[in-house]
Structure 1
C-alpha cells in the first residue's frame, strides 16, 4: 500500500507538522510501485491498452516487455517504477483488480450474470427481458444455447453451452457498459 501524506499514528514535530515518511517507508513505497509496474509488464497487449496511464509510462512498459536480458530488464523496471512515482497509482491498481477479478464491482457483476443465466435456464420468458435490455442480443442464439444447456444438464454432459451462455451474457453486459463510439463523451466537450 502506498504511504499516505499524513498518518494519524505518526508523531508530529514541535510545530505540529507531520514528520516526513522514513527512508524505509519511502523504499517500501518505491518497491510497491515497482511491483505494480511488474504487473503491468505481465499484462497482454490488449489488457495494457485498457489501463489508464500516461503515454511515457505506457512506452516504458512496452519497452520492458520487449527486453530479454536480465540486467536491461531490471534497469527498465526501475525506470518504470520511477515514472510511477509521479502518477496516481490508484486507477492503475483498480484496473488490475478488474483484470484479476478482485474488484467488488466485478465480482458483483459476475454474480448478477450467473443469476441471470440461471433464470434463463429456469424460464424461457427471461430471454425476452434480455432482448429488451440489450437490443443487440441475438434471441435465436440465446434460445439455442438455453436449449443445449438444458440438454447437457439432462444428459450429464460437460457444460459447454452453459458456459457459452454466460460468455454471451457477459459480452452483452460489457458492450452495454461501454459508451457508444459515435456519442461524444463528457470530457470531449468544451
Structure 2
C-alpha cells in the first residue's frame, strides 16, 4: 500500500507568496472603482497624470459610449489597464477634485447663510464688516436695503436682482479674503 506523502510546514504546496484569488479580485474591483472616479475627472486634471496612450484612449471611448452594458465593459477594460499603472497619483487627483468640490459647496453655503443673515438683521451687517473690513460698506448697505425691499414686496419670491447682487457681493468678498489669507500663509522674500 502506498502511503500519502507527508509535507513539512515549509513544504506545504498551498503556502505560496502570491495573493489569493479573492485578494486579486478585490484589488481589481478597487482599481475599477478608481477608474470610475478617473473618468469623471476633467481633461485638465487627467493630463498631468502621465497616463498611457491606451488608457487615455479607453477613457475617451468610455465617455463616448452611451449604452449601459458598453460602459460597464469599457470600465472593466479601464480597470484592467490600470493594473499596469501607478494608481497613487490617480488617487491623489481624485481626492483633490473631491476636496475642491466639497470646499466650493461649503463656500456657497456660507455665502447663502451670510445673505440670509444680512437681509434678516442689522447686527449681521456689523459682524460682516468686522470679518470682511475691505468690503465697501456703503455699497453693501445699499444692496442689503434693496434686497430687503425686494423680499418684503414678494416674500415667497426671493430671486430679485438685489438678492442676486448681494450674493455676488458676498462671494466676491469671500474670494478676496481667501486670496489675502493665502498670500499671508506663503513665505515672503524676507
Q: Normalising by the residue count of structure 1, what TM-score does the alignment of the two structures yield?
A: 0.55
| Deviation for aligned residue 1:85 | 1.0
| Displacement of 1:78 | 3.6
Q: How does 1:73-88 map to 2 (within 5 A)?
A: 78=78, 81=82, 83=85, 85-87=87-89
- The two structures, once aligned, show a CA RMSD in angstroms of 4.7
2:142 aligned with 1:144, yes or no? yes
- The answer on whether the counterparts of 1:131 and 1:139 sit within 8 Å (CA) in structure 2 is yes
- Report deviation, 1:180: 5.6
Alignment check: 8 A CA contact 1:120 1:126 kept: yes
CA contact (8 A) 2:39 2:63 kept: no
CA distance in 1, matches of 2:47, 2:174: 25
Q: Distance in 2 between matches of 1:112 and 1:180?
A: 17
Instruction: Name the CA distance, whole Å, in 2 between partners of 1:144 and 1:83.
Output: 57
Q: Which structure carries more relative contact order (alpha carbon 8 Å, separation 6+)? A: 2
Gaps of 5+ in 2: 1-13, 66-73
Aligned to 1:118: 116
Q: Distance in 2 between matches of 1:149 and 1:28?
A: 52
Q: Alpha-carbon deviations, 1:156-180, whole Å to 9, x = none?
A: 1552322332333233223323456
Aligned residues: 158
CA contact (8 A) 1:146 1:165 kept: yes
Say if 1:134 and 1:172, in contact at 8 Å, map to a contact too.
Answer: yes
Once residues 134 and 162 of structure 1 are traced to their aligned partners in structure 2, the CA distance between those partners, rounded to angstroms, is 19
Which sections of structure 1, spanning at least 5 residues, go unmatched? 1-12
Deviation of residue 98 (structure 1)?
A: 3.9
Determine the structure 2 residue equivalent to 1:56.
Answer: 50
CA–CA distance in structure 2, aligned partners of residues 116 and 38 of structure 1: 36
Q: CA deviation at 1:92?
A: 2.7
Q: Which has the higher helix share?
A: 2
1:33–1:84 Cα contact (<8 Å) kept: no
- Say whether the 8 Å CA contact 1:119–1:126 is kept in structure 2: yes
Which residue of the partner structure matches residue 36 of structure 2?
A: 35
